[in-house]
Structure 1
Amino acid sequence: MTYPAPAITYLDSTDVERLSADLPIVERAHETLLAYGRKEAGLTPEAALRWTTRSGAAARSLILPGWSGDSYGCKIINASLGNHLLGQPRAAGLIVLNDPETARPVCIMEGGRISALRTAGVSLAAVRAVRDPAGITRVAFLGCGRQAEVHRELLAAVCPGVEELFLYDQDTERARELAARWAASAPRARVTVSAGAREAVEQAQLAIAVTTTTDPYVELDWIPAGGTFVNVSLDDAAESLLLGCDHLFVDDWDLVVDDDHRLLGSLALSGRISGPGTRAPEGGRAVDAALPALFAGDYHRTVGADERVVINPFGMGVQDIALAAVVHERALALGVGLRLKG
């Protein structure tokens, strides 16, 4: 029996943006986490290479293998904290998809857009699970880079009633430029550049942190009653917020525990925070639920209107593979991409 060697399709950033333009990203993120909870999707430990660039910036390359249904592959995502000074996005990379029968690579695609979309998709799927999206009118963004733009892109459909956007970035000019673009593209929402991070967070029902900081700074008393804080980036949420919020959700507890670079992982390793379904340590707390359980309806505590919620997604490569597989299917159907010899 012979099995034809599959050609390799290469999709550049333009191809990926075109093919993903009208995909239901938030629904895809939701369904993938449900599949993960049912063991119909999964991942293996990531590999990390870290270094310091010649300019002194922290850089790293991560390889995240994962599978979803019959789709298998890995994401290679690289980042340097100094990229914004060079006019480049913080992160860029590739996604490689494999033939499920032969394990040969069948697709290589630019990974930055996929990574940004799946990150924002998970964030907003989680927000939708704990709050009424129709009631969210005031949103703050900490950090004004690519992730802020993609989160705002998806937010427009999930929370169509947003009336005010508060932006903060340590680079004030960057925040002003983003505010001008958003004001021009969505004139019904007022866009304000805040003088400080606290000012932005205190005014918002939903705050989304998409920065590059490694120094926690957002305290519990910054979050208004009924506020939701999405800690997308490494370490914006301070210990007081992680330990003191009314509800704390993560995407995968094992990933949190395995990473001591983030405060939540450090708190877990020191015995201050324990996993979902466990007894809270003395003087600490337990994570309330992982997102697959939350989405499946297995979290039975009511999220009160005045309670503070923290959503701390670590970032799961399985999401990238699931989304990339749909993009690849579209590429084959439409004849998009460059065919390479295997």
Structure 2
Amino acid sequence: MSHSEEGIRYLTAADVTGLVSRIDVPAVIRQTLLAYAKGAAGLSPEAALRWTTGSGHAARSLILPGWADGAYGCKIINASLGNVERGLPRAAGLVVLDDPETARPVCIMEGARISALRTAATSVVAVTAVREPAAVTRLAFLGCGRQSETHLELLAPLTPALREVRLFDLDAGRAGHFAARCRDLLGTGRQIRVTSTAREAVEGAGLTVAATTTTEPYVDLDWVPPGGTFVNVSLDDATEGLLLGADHLIVDDWELVRTDDHRLLGRLAAAGRVVGPDDPAPDGSRRVDTEIPRLLAGEYTRRVTATDRVVINPFGMGVSDIGLAAAVFDLARRTGGGTLLPC
């Protein structure tokens, strides 16, 4: 990703949206995760700043450094749970890319779209590795915000047999808005139903995506039907029973999970209830079955049967943000996108 420009290329949200629409995002994320599995991409420990706002809401700023195939940089992603009340997106951020030779910043781009797309694409490539999305007839979403919408954008072309989408959100207005968006993305012939409970949405769904702001786990093992896949995007929706009882438990990076003390899976790891994919599992604990990069590389050989319950827990890897941002930056440079700012 070496460059000869004098200045920093700045890409607004509109710039990023236009550029990324011309990129096969799941393919980029798959390539990045395969590079990670081979040691051709990597990440450093993330930093987190957390606080309570003056209005009493939880807020945080995360910095996720990473490198992928010669691209280096970091994502800065911030969120406040009070933003929704203000009519603002919950999360916003920036991605900064650096010159691999001089280490000087070469690009700053709006990061929320990058973050949402890399998260959804990670889910899609992981699901595709264990299931056949074309066979999914019922899809469920817990949480009806931007992240669920982004997942649907990427899933819609892959699910031609889809007959029903079930939605649940504590905010009925947000659920109704997402229902309308589902109809726009999926067209006619699919039933879009807002459910009165989360369990009603999950039961019978071949694929469930949980993208909420909860910190209290609530989705139990018996909610997920045999053969169902539960994508734990927001990380705290799945209960201990679901995490420990699923036939296959897949994470993106065990070290990120193991060192996190905010999410349930990390706390279970600290308590010795869950161990890594290469560790022996003592009595009373379970092993994480594999990591997504290793899954994509074909290293996970245990068969996923038609009746197995699968939990995918994508913690979020900064390397994926950098891989996707680098593809956007490369296209921007080739097409003259964005604004070149003087240093």
Short-chain TM bin? over 0.9
Equivalent pair of 1:72/1:100 in contact (CA under 8 Å): yes
Letter aligned with residue 253 of structure 2: D
Residue deviations 1:78-103, cap 9 Å, x none? 00112111111111100000011110
CA drift at 1:246: 0.3
Letter in 2 for 1:59: A
Q: Deviations over 1:253-288 (max 9, x none)?
A: 000011010000000000000000222221120000
Pair 1:205–1:68, CA change in 2 (3 A): same
- Contact (CA 8 Å) 1:140, 1:167: kept in 2 or not? yes
Distance in 2, matches of 1:195 and 1:4, equals 56
- Residue 305 in structure 1 maps to residue 328 in structure 2: no
Partner amino acid, structure 2, of 1:196: T
Query: Counterpart of 2:7?
Result: 7
Q: In structure 1, what is the Cα distance between the partners aligned to 2:17 and 2:178?
A: 20
Matched, 1:120 2:120: yes
1:161-208 per-residue CA deviation (whole Å, 9 max, x = no partner) reads 222110000001110121123224422321100111000000210000
TM-score (normalised: structure 2): 0.97
Counterparts of 2:130 and 2:160, CA distance in 1: 17
Contact 2:79 2:90 in 1 (8 A): yes
CA distance in 1, matches of 2:280, 2:78: 37
**Structure 1 CA distance, aligned partners of 2:5 and 2:112?**
28
Q: 1:160: Cα distance to partner?
A: 2.8
Give the aligned partner of residue 66 of structure 1.
Answer: 66
Which residue in 2 is equivalent to 1:21? 21
- Equivalent residue pairs, number: 340
* Structure 2 residue ranges without an equivalent (≥5): none
Say if 2:280 and 2:287, in contact at 8 Å, map to a contact too. yes
Which residue is equivalent to 2:191?
190
C-alpha separation between the residues in 2 aligned to 1:270 and 1:122? 28
Per the alignment, residue 103 of structure 1 pairs with 103
Q: Give the Å deviation of 1:234.
A: 2.9
Question: Which residue pairs with 1:50 in the alignment?
Answer: 50
> Do the aligned partners of 1:141 and 1:209 also contact (CA within 8 Å) in 2?
yes
Could you say what secondary structure the match of 2:269 adopts? Answer: helix
5+ long unaligned stretches in structure 1? none
CA offsets per residue over residues 51-99 of structure 1, 9 Å max, x none? 0011111000011110001100000000011211111111110000001
2:242 maps to: 241
Q: Judge which range, 272-281 or 199-208, deviates more.
A: 272-281
- Secondary structure at the aligned position of 1:30 is classed as helix
Report the identity percentage. Answer: 61
**Residues 30, 226 of structure 1: alpha-carbon distance in 2 compared, 3 angstrom cutoff:** same
Distance 1:108 1:133 in 2: 35
Q: What displacement does 1:4 show?
A: 6.0
1:237 aligned partner, one-letter code: A
Alignment of 1:173-184 (within 5 A): 173-184=173-184
**Structural mapping, 1:259-338, within 5 Å:** 259-338=260-339
* One-letter amino acid of the structure 2 residue matched with residue 316 of structure 1: M
Q: Which runs of 4+ in 1 moved over 4 A?
A: none
